[in-house]
């Protein structure tokens, strides 16, 4: 069994190669197929738990280890303690595939859906449900959901506007389950799983490029600014004046162009202080540049309300009436402390780490003739939450600062997440970031323009807004979850099946 767990661990780590920047999306099928094969030979639910845990720990340790950079390099946490914290976090995340593995072995060994296609369906449904739970429990952490690997050129990308990332993850698990659990030795039966796989890929490929939404309004000229401030220098009091000047010059240079854009965007928390602590006249100067050019400026700031609550926010300045947005989904341990974890902030030093949540229902910003739905950094991991702005929004705009994670996999992985959100909503996703990756993502998930990472600059583009509703925007995750639950119920063929499983467990 130790060999099986080691193989599952390596398969999980290898799954990271299916995500950006590597983009070897077929490895997602191979990785889960290796796990499913090991689970198919497991005798007890405990064995399934350990196999799923090994896969999950390998995947998360390889895929989100960049969190160590934030804790150690910028948070000041000692190296052994930071490594322990990341290991514990990866162990927590690994509990979700572990539970899926345990449930799969328990139900299959109870005689429920022992056949190849039925077993593959059970594996897929349990995998989908486990990833969804990981994305919602304790505020959720859906990073590395396996469906993200299937952005174009994968043929399964065609299902993203219908089923969302969790649903596509379920399809990946179903194909993997067929590869691992179907009987491929006999030609008389092997054609069935082969046909299922080919039909799924063919239907998905046929849906790729299908337009679920239509152009709305006239294209808007935008300039997305990448300030490229190293995280430790950004908060250095001796560099505060330089940070303010750089932001001012970048915005002014765009508005003074012969053909100024209608919308200029600076990244998340681009001004490292509270809005009410900025030098007198600074915001008025920025607003003046925008108004003179007939455009608008959006920038990330920390805003404090009348009750003293602090928000990670974005504001607009210029020809349109002043508008603002406050981040709704905060990062645990980075932007707020979960209950009983106040001690964490006695170990690390993270600026502006005591924040409040913005209201769940915030209207899009009316800018440049478009309705722009903002989300800040980590928020675009939660596809169902972004649907609140639809169908009113015609553009999606993400402001991010991933300088916390250095030169790591975080930047390309985050851009891949934006590609999935664009496909799910049928809207362009604009990204203005501090160190990368500043980009324009089209509704079909393609990246039409991107700035090099860790370089200061402006990404200029003309962007078309879109209106209408994709199936995913209409149903959210409910359709994929309902299908998963139905598959589990259909797999449990007889009412006495669950009782049988329970009795076997008590005997063991």
Q: Which residues are catalytic?
A: 268, 327, 377
What CA dihedral angle connects 166, 172, 174 and 175, to 10 degrees? Answer: 170
Distance CA 159, CA 445 (A): 12
Four-residue CA torsion sign, 27, 187, 200, 101:
negative
Rounded to whole angstroms, the Cα distance separating 140 from 145 reads: 12
- Both tokens of 295, joined, read 């455009």
Q: Report helix, strand or coil for 466.
A: strand
d(CA 176, CA 181): 8
Nearest to 158 by CA among 196, 209, 197: 209
Count of C-beta atoms within a 10 Å radius of residue 320: 18
SS3 361: coil
* Secondary structure class of 290 (helix, strand, coil): helix
Spell out a b/e string for 429-459, using b for 16 or more CB atoms within 10 Å of the CB, else e: bbbbbbbbbbbbbbbbbebeebbebeeeebb
d(CA 412, CA 225): 18
Which residue in this structure is represented by tokens 């991010």? 400
What the block records as the tokens of 289 is: 């540049």
Q: Strands 395-400 and 370-376: what pairing?
A: parallel
Q: Max alpha carbon distance in the chain (Å)?
A: 80
Handedness of CA 488, 493, 498, 503 (dihedral sign): negative
Closest CA to 28 of 115, 117, 122, 155: 155
- How far apart, in whole angstroms, are the C-alpha atoms of residue 200 and residue 210? 16
Give yes or no for a contact between 376 and 312, defined as CB atoms under 8 angstroms apart. Answer: yes
Distance of CA 241 to the CA centre of its chain: 34
Residue 256 exposed, middle or buried by CB count within 10 Å (0-12, 13-18, 19+): exposed
Pairing between β-strand 429-433 and β-strand 324-326 as defined by DSSP bridges:
unpaired
The gap from C-alpha 414 to its chain's centroid, in whole angstroms, comes to: 6
């Amino acid at each position: 069994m130790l060999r099986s767990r080691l193989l599952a661990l390596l398969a999980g780590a290898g799954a990271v190669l299916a995500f950006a920047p590597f983009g070897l999306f077929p490895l997602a099928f191979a990785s889960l197929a290796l796990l499913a094969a090991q689970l198919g030979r497991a005798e007890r639910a405990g064995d399934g738990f350990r196999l799923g845990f090994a896969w999950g720990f390998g995947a998360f340790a390889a895929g989100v280890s960049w969190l160590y950079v934030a804790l150690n390099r910028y948070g000041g946490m000692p190296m052994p303690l930071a490594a322990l914290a990341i290991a514990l976090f990866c162990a927590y995340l690994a509990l979700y595939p572990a539970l899926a593995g345990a449930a799969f072995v328990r139900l299959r060994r109870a005689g429920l859906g022992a056949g190849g296609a039925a077993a593959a369906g059970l594996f897929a449904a349990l995998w989908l449900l486990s990833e969804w739970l990981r994305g919602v429990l304790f505020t959720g952490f859906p990073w590395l959901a396996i469906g993200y690997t299937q952005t174009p050129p994968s043929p399964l990308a065609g299902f993203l506007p219908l089923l969302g990332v969790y649903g596509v993850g379920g399809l990946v698990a179903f194909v993997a389950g067929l590869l691992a659990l179907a009987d491929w030795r006999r030609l008389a039966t092997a054609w069935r799983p082969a046909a299922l796989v080919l039909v799924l890929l063919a239907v998905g490929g046929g849906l790729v490029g299908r337009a679920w939404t239509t152009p709305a309004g006239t294209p808007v000229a935008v300039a997305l600014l990448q300030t490229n401030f190293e995280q430790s220098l950004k908060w250095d009091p001796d560099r505060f004046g330089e940070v303010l000047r750089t932001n001012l010059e970048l915005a002014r240079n765009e508005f003074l162009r012969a053909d100024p854009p209608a919308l200029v965007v600076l990244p998340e928390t681009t001004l490292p202080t509270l809005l009410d602590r900025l030098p007198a006249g600074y915001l008025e100067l920025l607003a003046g540049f925008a108004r003179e050019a007939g455009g608008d400026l959006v920038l990330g700031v920390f805003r404090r309300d009348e009750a003293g609550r602090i928000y990670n926010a974005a504001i607009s300045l210029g020809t349109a009436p002043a508008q603002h947005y406050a981040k709704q989904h905060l990062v645990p341990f980075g932007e707020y402390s979960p209950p009983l974890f106040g001690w964490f902030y006695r170990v690390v030093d993270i600026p502006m780490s005591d924040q409040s949540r913005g209201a769940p229902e915030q209207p899009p910003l009316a800018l440049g003739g478009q309705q722009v739905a903002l989300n800040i950094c980590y928020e675009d991991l939660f596809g169902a939450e972004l649907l609140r702005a639809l169908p009113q929004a015609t553009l999606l705009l993400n402001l991010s600062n991933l300088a916390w994670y250095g030169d790591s996999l975080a930047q390309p992985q985050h851009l891949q997440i934006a590609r999935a959100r664009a496909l799910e909503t049928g809207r362009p996703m604009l990204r203005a970031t501090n160190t990368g990756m500043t980009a324009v993502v089209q509704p079909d998930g393609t990246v039409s323009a991107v700035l090099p990472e860790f370089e200061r600059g402006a990404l200029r583009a003309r962007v078309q807004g879109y209106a209408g509703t994709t199936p995913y925007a209409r149903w959210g995750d409910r359709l994929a979850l309902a299908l998963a639950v139905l598959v589990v119920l259909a797999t449990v063929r007889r009412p006495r099946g669950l009782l049988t499983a329970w009795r076997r467990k008590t005997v063991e």
